[in-house]
A = this chain, B = another copy of it.
Amino acid sequence: MRAGTLGIVAGRGRLPQRLATAEAEAGRPVVVAALPGTDMDGFGGVPVFAARYEKLGRLMADLRSRGVDRVVLAGAIARPALDWRRFDLKALAAVPRILRAFRRGDDGLLRVVMAVFEAEGFHVVGAHEILPDLTLSPGAAGRHRPSARDLADIARANGILTALGPVDLGQAAVVAGGLCLGVETIQGTDTLLGFVADTAGGFRRSARGVLVKRPKPGQDLRADMPVIGPGTVAGAARAGLAGIAVAADTVMVLDFAETCRDADAAGLFLWAIDTP
């Protein structure tokens, strides 16, 4: 069976461009539906059309008219940018589910969008299925490695994230010398690292500390895959951390070469762990 066109529903960040150019370079047919906030640079020759989740019916019709049968939801969307008055029928039909999703955790909205796409016959794939080299294998990705103390901090942060799974919270946490210096909430990882940089001074003792980032237990990676990149390394360096640990295979590293080079240069480890 020949696969049809891949539709990239693009949001903020650089993942959509990565996916589009990789597919185009491999000679596979691809189009981009750009949500508000998408950076329109960097899609090369890949066709791009504007889209809104408020017009879910038109979005799906536009994708279908371009031969799309597989969809990847890529890049963050600005949640408060949803304009309810502009919802079309398909989007309105999903409103009760969207409202429920809004009251739940972080990735609720994209899960609903995904369910609507699937109900309409699209196959929803994850970005990591298209670009498997976006994730890390267990062990060190760069030049530096965590110390025994860092490994203990990684284990404690991981335990905190595991505990938060049932309440649909916590893709990331920072621990230094056994003390938790921050837990990621809706504001995201960069804000968490800024918080640690600003407030951790007196609490760090001699440990530098680690950032651990991983999917929530049971998180659907097609809807909302955890991502790190050069910005994460810069934030971790500003926060004085010893390094970054991510779940192997399930956390995307955007701009891997740059991320790794920056981590090496800043003396930070970049480490992948097996998580349950």
User: What residues make up the interface of A, taking CB atoms closer than 8 Å to B?
Assistant: 78-80, 102-106, 152, 156, 159-160, 163-164, 166-167, 169, 177-183, 185-187, 191, 195, 199-200, 202-203, 205
Contacts and interface: CB of A to CB of B under 8 A. Distances in A.
A163 B167 contact: yes
4 tightest A-B CB contacts, nearest first = A103-B178, A183-B183, A163-B167, A187-B199
The winner among A159, A177, A185, A199 for most chain B CB atoms within 10 A is A185
A235 to B, nearest CB: 14
Contact of A199 (B177, B183, B191, B199): B191
Given A183-B183, A195-B195, A203 B164 contact: no
A189 to B, nearest CB: 12
A159 B163 CA distance: 11
14 contacts: A80-B202, A163-B164, A163-B166, A164-B164, A169-B183, A180-B186, A181-B186, A181-B187, A182-B185, A183-B183, A183-B185, A187-B200, A187-B203, A191-B199
Contacts of A103: 152, 177-178
Contacts of A78: 202
Contacts of A195: 195, 199
Contact of A205 (B80, B181, B202): B80
Contacts of A182: 185
Contacts of A156: 167
Nearest to A176: B186
A186 B179 contact: yes
A191 B180 CA distance: 14
A255 B105 CA distance: 36
A80 B185 contact: no
A159 B152 contact: no
